[in-house]
């Protein structure tokens, strides 16, 4: 769809003629990202009659974070008040109560409407055969860390995959939704506080895409750390683009590490895979290198304590005793978690002897600051999912709330974003006049960035060393910016976004002098050598 958009007085001084561009797209709603949040936003907008374009770096489906989600999706069942209490408690009482109200009050209906009725996702049941159950007590609700009761809907330990594939297929079949995969968004198109779309790169070609509203759903920041449960390409694109355009970001210091990512026998975690929290929910125990169960010494809920507490305990015990293993002998591991058992076998892990685990970067609780409709501080810009800061998570996220938050806020943002028509305006000019960068340029810079983040902005942070990290990252960003001025390449823009996001995380950490949740301050100096 093409059209014009005017300000309240009928003028739009930024508007330009269509013929000024050799190639361009227009769409009512541009969604950037194809995880559950982006797909929910696309669905919400399409249901309101909008033409929607979904642009995603992912090559479907494995490139989206939602595809990798194991544990499941939490619902309120018949007790939203207790669900709210659990979310607030896990956040160390830093979550926004009003945002949590939206989440818990809409949880059941959103899951029933989209996942069950529309997509037909067959969540695991408690021995019921045949059609999907109608009665609440027939679902096989799981329990995970910091949940007061079982309330997690799941499909084995591959819930993300079970949701994501049918969601993509459903939207593919709609004529009002166009999905562009292997497509990177390099920069937002904005003018005087309003966002008009973005510059999309596909196979080396950059095309302006003008939209009535733009929804960022770009996922997490796993590429900023050497060990992460995120898929490759999680470079903080949406957060960086929004911040560079002038949008507000909040709570960037709250980076959650998952306590039980698989590590190799030699402690290598370069290729971790997540061992779902649901395994501990079913009775698995953490033991150190001396064979001792240790979590009761760290938290009254032991293995089901908040993620930040368990992650730091695991790291402490690994340093003190050499390793930590997840003892799955108290449960029928292969029977209850066949996908995980198969993954262990593929890696040559004897899970009967315990699965070697360690912390890995998992989820950013902060991001682009948005309201209960996903609206950012810039007009016509929305953010949903992990790249957004809704206030639901505060300083620490409760397990299995990420898919739910993406679903609820995605629907809300998509519905709200459908009200605007696109305008074609002057887009940023990206230059590509200098020779291509050396093949290993981005790889070397990423290696430097990850060393800084791992040593100084990880599970434990020293206030003095955070200042040093900022200095290193500022120099890195300056180097990258110099190349961006004359070169256009996806890898270069990903590096730019990563460096901007890393600076935002580090700056927020340095400005927060209170240890809370995932932001843990210590007075022990880190080992020099990041630069």
Cis peptide, bond prior to residue 61, ω within 30 of zero: yes
Give yes or no for residue 196 having a pLDDT over 70. Answer: yes
Query: What's the rounded Cα separation, in Å, for the pair 162 and 120?
Result: 10
Helix, strand, coil percentages (3-state) for the chain, rounded to 5, are: 40, 20, 45
Give yes or no for residue 66 having a pLDDT over 60. Answer: no
pLDDT tier at 60 (50, 70, 90 boundaries)? low
Given this model, what pLDDT does residue 155 score? 87
Bridge partners (DSSP) listed for residue 509: none
Query: For 295-304, how does the pLDDT look when each residue is reduced to its tens digit (9 = 90+)?
Result: 999 999 999 9
Give yes or no for residue 156 having a pLDDT over 70. Answer: yes
- CA nearest 474: which of 506, 433, 430? 506
For residues 31 and 9, is the Cβ–Cβ distance under 8 A?
no
The pLDDT of 268-281, averaged and rounded, is: 78
Q: What pairing do the DSSP bridges indicate for beta strands 52-55 and 25-32? A: parallel
Task: Provide DSSP, 452-502.
Answer: HHHHHSSSSB-HHHHHHHHHHHHHHHHHHHHHHTT---HHHHHHHHHHHHH
Which pTM does this prediction carry? 0.90
Annotated active-site residue in 307, 397, 490, 496: 307
Own/partner pairs for 106-114, CB < 8 Å, 24+ apart? 106/408, 107/74, 107/75, 107/76, 107/80, 107/83, 107/404, 107/408, 108/75, 108/76, 108/77, 110/404, 110/407, 110/408, 110/411, 111/73, 111/75, 111/153, 111/404, 111/407, 114/40, 114/43, 114/407, 114/411
* Three-state DSSP string of 7-67: CCCCCCCCECCHHHCCCCEEEEEEEECCCHHHHHHHHHHHHCCCCEEEECCCCCCCCCHHH
**pLDDT more than 70, % of the chain:** 88
Give yes or no for residue 16 having a pLDDT over 70. Answer: no
Which of 1-5, 83-87, 118-122, 516-520 bottoms out in mean pLDDT, i.e. has the lowest? 1-5
- CA nearest 363: which of 57, 68, 42? 68
User: Exposure of 122 by Cβ count < 10 A (0-12 exposed, 13-18 middle, 19+ buried)?
Assistant: middle
Q: What are phi and psi of 14, to 5 degrees?
A: -85, -10
Neighbours of 11 (CB within 10 A): 9
Give yes or no for residue 10 having a pLDDT over 50. Answer: no
Give yes or no for residue 75 having a pLDDT over 90. Answer: yes
**Torsion-angle region of residue 375: left (phi > 0), alpha (psi -120 to 50) or beta?**
beta
Given this model, what pLDDT does residue 265 score? 60
pLDDT tier at 7 (50, 70, 90 boundaries)? very low
Give yes or no for residue 25 having a pLDDT over 50. Answer: yes
Which of 14-18, 168-172, 234-238, 478-482 bottoms out in mean pLDDT, i.e. has the lowest? 14-18
Given this model, what pLDDT does residue 119 score? 96
Given this model, what pLDDT does residue 515 score? 96
**In terms of pLDDT, which residue wins out, 120 or 439?**
120
Q: Which SS3 state, helix, strand or coil, does residue 516 take? A: strand
The pLDDT of 186-212, averaged and rounded, is: 96
Which of 87-91, 152-156, 170-174, 213-217 bottoms out in mean pLDDT, i.e. has the lowest? 152-156
Domains of the chain: 28-125+137-254+365-427 (3.50.50.60), 262-360 (3.90.700.10), 441-511 (1.20.58.100)
The pLDDT of 186-196, averaged and rounded, is: 96
Give yes or no for residue 5 having a pLDDT over 60. Answer: no
Given this model, what pLDDT does residue 343 score? 87
318 is catalytic: no
Query: For 424-479, how does the pLDDT look when each residue is reduced to its tens digit (9 = 90+)?
Result: 999 998 888 888 777 788 889 999 999 999 999 999 999 999 999 999 999 999 99
User: Exposure of 175 by Cβ count < 10 A (0-12 exposed, 13-18 middle, 19+ buried)?
Assistant: exposed
Angle made by CA atoms 150, 156, 162, in degrees to the nearest 5: 110
For residues 363 and 392, is the Cβ–Cβ distance under 8 A?
no
Positive or negative, the CA dihedral 230, 231, 232, 236 is: negative
User: Exposure of 222 by Cβ count < 10 A (0-12 exposed, 13-18 middle, 19+ buried)?
Assistant: buried
Bridge partners (DSSP) listed for residue 257: 361
Q: What are phi and psi of 66, to 5 degrees?
A: -60, -30
Query: What's the rounded Cα separation, in Å, for the pair 53 and 366?
Result: 26
Given this model, what pLDDT does residue 494 score? 96
Query: What's the rounded Cα separation, in Å, for the pair 412 and 377?
Result: 16
Given this model, what pLDDT does residue 268 score? 52
DSSP state for residue 351 in the 8-state scheme: G
Q: Which SS3 state, helix, strand or coil, does residue 74 take? A: strand
The pLDDT of 316-344, averaged and rounded, is: 94
Which of 143-147, 332-336, 372-376, 527-531 bottoms out in mean pLDDT, i.e. has the lowest? 527-531
Give yes or no for residue 530 having a pLDDT over 90. Answer: no
Query: What's the rounded Cα separation, in Å, for the pair 432 and 452?
Result: 30
For residues 261 and 229, is the Cβ–Cβ distance under 8 A?
yes
Give yes or no for residue 6 having a pLDDT over 50. Answer: no
pLDDT tier at 239 (50, 70, 90 boundaries)? very high
Give yes or no for residue 419 having a pLDDT over 80. Answer: yes
Query: What's the rounded Cα separation, in Å, for the pair 69 and 405?
Result: 13
Query: For 347-387, how does the pLDDT look when each residue is reduced to its tens digit (9 = 90+)?
Result: 889 999 999 999 999 999 999 999 999 999 999 999 999 99
Neighbours of 474 (CB within 10 A): 14
């Amino acid at each position: 769809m093409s059209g014009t958009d005017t300000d309240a007085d009928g003028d739009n001084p930024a508007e330009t003629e269509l013929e000024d561009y050799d190639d361009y797209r227009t769409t009512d709603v541009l969604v950037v990202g194809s995880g559950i949040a982006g797909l929910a936003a696309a669905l919400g907008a399409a249901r309101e009659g909008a033409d929607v374009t979904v642009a995603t770096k992912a090559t479907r489906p494995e490139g989206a974070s939602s595809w990798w989600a194991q544990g499941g999706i939490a619902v309120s069942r018949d007790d939203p008040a207790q669900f709210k209490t659990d979310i607030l408690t896990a956040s160390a009482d830093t979550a926004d109560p009003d945002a949590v109200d939206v989440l818990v009050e809409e949880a059941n209906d959103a899951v029933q409407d989209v996942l069950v009725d529309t997509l037909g996702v067959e969540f695991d049941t408690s021995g019921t055969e045949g059609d999907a159950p109608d009665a609440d007590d027939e679902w096989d609700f799981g329990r995970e860390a910091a949940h007061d009761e079982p309330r997690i809907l799941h499909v084995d330990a591959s819930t993300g995959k079970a949701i994501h594939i049918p969601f993509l297929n459903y939207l593919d079949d709609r004529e009002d939704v166009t999905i562009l995969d292997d497509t990177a968004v390099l920069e937002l198109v904005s003018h005087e506080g309003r966002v008009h779309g973005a510059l999309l790169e596909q196979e080396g070609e950059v095309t302006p895409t003008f939209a009535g509203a733009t929804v960022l759903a770009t996922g997490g920041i796993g590429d900023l750390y050497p060990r992460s449960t995120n898929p490759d390409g999680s470079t903080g694109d949406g957060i960086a683009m929004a911040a560079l355009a002038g949008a507000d970001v909040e709570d960037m210091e709250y980076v959650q590490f998952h306590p039980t990512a698989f590590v190799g026998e030699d402690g290598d975690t370069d290729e971790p895979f997540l061992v779902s929290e649901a395994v501990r929910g079913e009775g698995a125990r953490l033991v150190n290198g001396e064979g001792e169960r240790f979590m009761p010494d760290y938290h009254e809920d032991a293995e089901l304590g908040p993620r930040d507490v368990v992650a730091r305990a695991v790291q402490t015990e690994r340093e003190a005793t050499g390793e930590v293993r997840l003892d799955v002998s108290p449960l029928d591991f292969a029977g209850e978690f066949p996908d995980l058992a198969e993954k262990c076998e593929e890696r040559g892990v004897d899970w009967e002897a315990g699965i070697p685990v360690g912390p890995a970067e998992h989820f950013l609780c902060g991001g682009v600051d948005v309201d209960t409709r996903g609206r950012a501080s810039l007009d016509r810009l929305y953010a949903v999912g992990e790249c957004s800061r809704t206030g639901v998570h505060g300083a620490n996220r409760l397990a299995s709330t990420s898919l739910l938050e993406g679903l609820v806020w995605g629907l809300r943002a998509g519905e709200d974003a459908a009200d605007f028509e696109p305008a074609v305006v002057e887009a940023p000019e990206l230059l590509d006049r200098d020779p291509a960068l050396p093949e290993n340029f981005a790889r070397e810079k990423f290696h430097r960035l990850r060393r800084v983040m791992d040593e100084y902005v990880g599970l434990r942070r020293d206030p003095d060393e955070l200042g040093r990290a900022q200095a290193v990252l500022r120099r890195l960003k300056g180097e990258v910016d110099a190349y961006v001025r004359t070169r256009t390449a996806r890898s270069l823009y990903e590096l730019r976004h990563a460096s901007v996001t890393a600076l935002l995380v580090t700056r927020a950490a340095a400005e927060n002098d209170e240890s809370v949740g995932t932001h843990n301050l210590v007075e022990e100096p880190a080992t020099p050598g990041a630069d």
